[in-house]
Amino acid sequence: MARIWTQYNKLKAAFGPASPPATYGLVLSGGGARAAYQAGVLQYIADHLDPAPVDIITGVSAGSINAAQLANDPGTFKEAVGHLIRGWSELESHDVYHASTSFKVVMSMLRRSSDQDQELLPRAGLVDTSPLNAYMKKVLRTPDGVIHGIGDNIRSGKLKACAFVTTDYSTAQTVSWVQGAAMEGGERPNRISRNTTLTVDHIMASTSLPFLFPAIPINNHWYGDGGIRQAEPLSPAVHLGATKILAISTRYSRTMEEAARPLANGYPPAAQIFGVLLSAVFLDRLDQDAMTLERTNKFIAELAPWKRMGMRHIDLHVMRPSRDLGKLSSEYEHDLEGVLRLIARGLGSKDTESPDWLSMILFDSGYTSKLIEIGYQDAKNQHEKLARFIQT
């Protein structure tokens, strides 16, 4: 039977109808300031390859910032990436958040501790992210908050769909906000989608790191970072119809030797434990989902078409940093200000080699410019693989 099926596939390839054109999806994962790495990868692709049009763009957490700018831009892919690079190269922490001084935070906590009816920590996050709201409205050219370019690109046929992923704190569901094509078969009790007109509020919600950044109200519910419960980061692009997906992760894949080496001596500082938790929530799941997709592709290949129950093969290429971006962030810790510097010291960030949590909030042009360089070089090192994937 296997031999007959192999011969059938060969005959179909030789004489059967031509395959429909691929639907390209770009999946941009989270990681806070690490998302600058994605811009570097895309810059190399725009400069040195001839990429097929991107039909579907999905972003979660800071990946939504990149997704929004690419999906909104009226120009070519190269022009859109150029704007993205300039944004990251100039971005500073004061463009993202305003952090109160350590003194103000401590005094506020003391006042709250004397009132039994008040919570010790401010409920609406430790920092004010209104600067990021204003910055996104400026770069997306939308005073009213509606990301008009996404609708324009969908109507012109340049783009099929764009999605930002959030977490509904009220229901604990992962919610994908989609403009354009509807998701097919992606609904689960803990994973839903909503077709809408995308706005800056959706970006703000998707990027809202728990406890640090405030939740965002949308339709009478409060939303935060989409990476919190997103078990399958590739799912939005898959259910929007992508048949080829380029996913750009911000997680460094350690070797067996590196993974076995402790990153802190003695009892681990809170920064180390916090970093492990954040990595598990925001960084690790893309790799796990990629492994699942590859297994599914192998399973589908063994099935006759009439037995596949709607499942389809999906080509996937995942780009990952060649360097530990968490380790790199420790060189820039001195650039933190206000309460975030107090937190870094209090958590013992200097006592761990890889303060992953720090890398997520370090919106410093020195750090992000370095990440762009690493992303560019990583893509250059994978030129042949990327060329085969993108141009076929």
In this predicted model, what pLDDT tens digit does every residue of 199-258 receive, in sequence order? 999 999 999 988 788 999 999 999 999 888 887 899 999 999 999 999 999 887 777 776
Closest by CA to 237, choosing from 247, 228, 227, 229, is 247
pLDDT band at 16 (very low <50, low <70, confident <90, very high): very low
Residues 6+ apart with CB under 8 A from 389: 244, 246, 315, 317
Q: How many CB atoms lie within 10 A of CB 145?
A: 16
Chain-centroid distance, C-alpha 70: 13
Among 29-33, 72-76, 354-358, whose mean pLDDT is lowest? Answer: 354-358
In the block, residue with structure tokens 């870094």: 344
**What integer pLDDT is reported at residue 269 of this predicted model?**
67
Mean residue pLDDT of the chain comes to 83
Q: Which stretch, 85-94, 159-168, 187-196, has highest mean pLDDT?
A: 159-168
Query: Cα separation of 338 and 315, whole Å?
Result: 45
Reading the block at residue 103, the tokens are 């003194």
Three-state SS at 224: strand
For 93-116, letters b (16+ CB in 10 Å) and e give bebbbebbebeebeebeeeeeeee
Q: Which stretch, 4-13, 144-153, 222-231, 330-339, has highest mean pLDDT?
A: 144-153
DSSP bridge partners of 176: 165, 193
**What integer pLDDT is reported at residue 103 of this predicted model?**
42
Global pTM value = 0.85
For the segment 264-308, what is each residue's pLDDT rounded down to a tens digit? Answer: 677 776 666 666 776 666 667 788 888 898 998 888 888 888 777
Phi–psi pair at 234, nearest 5 degrees: -80, -15
Among 24-38, 116-130, 153-167, 278-292, whose mean pLDDT is lowest? Answer: 116-130
Q: Find the largest Cα–Cα distance for the chain.
A: 80
**What integer pLDDT is reported at residue 334 of this predicted model?**
56
**What integer pLDDT is reported at residue 31 of this predicted model?**
84
Q: Where are the alpha helices (DSSP H) in the chain?
A: 2-15, 36-48, 63-72, 77-90, 102-113, 130-139, 148-155, 200-206, 235-239, 256-260, 270-282, 284-301, 325-329, 338-347, 356-361, 365-381, 383-390
In the block, residue with structure tokens 């954040």: 278
Query: Cα separation of 218 and 202, whole Å?
Result: 8
Tell me the mean pLDDT in the region 163-174. Answer: 95
Among 75-79, 127-131, 203-207, 330-334, whose mean pLDDT is lowest? Answer: 330-334
DSSP bridge partners of 244: 24, 315
DSSP bridge partners of 28: 59, 248
Query: Cα separation of 277 and 279, whole Å?
Result: 5
For the segment 61-101, what is each residue's pLDDT rounded down to a tens digit? Answer: 999 999 999 999 999 999 999 999 999 998 888 898 876 54
Q: How many CB atoms lie within 10 A of CB 242?
A: 27
Among 119-123, 241-245, 261-265, whose mean pLDDT is lowest? Answer: 119-123
In the block, residue with structure tokens 């997709």: 293
pLDDT band at 359 (very low <50, low <70, confident <90, very high): confident
Contacts 24+ apart (CB under 8 A), 182-186: 183/236, 183/239, 183/240, 184/239, 184/240, 184/241, 185/239, 185/310, 186/235, 186/236, 186/238, 186/239
- Is the pLDDT confidence value at 112 over 80? no
Give counts: helices (H), strands (E), the chain. 17, 11
Q: Among residues of the chain, what percentage have pLDDT more than 70?
A: 76
pLDDT band at 15 (very low <50, low <70, confident <90, very high): very low
**What integer pLDDT is reported at residue 270 of this predicted model?**
64
Q: Among residues of the chain, what percentage have pLDDT more than 90?
A: 48
pLDDT band at 102 (very low <50, low <70, confident <90, very high): very low
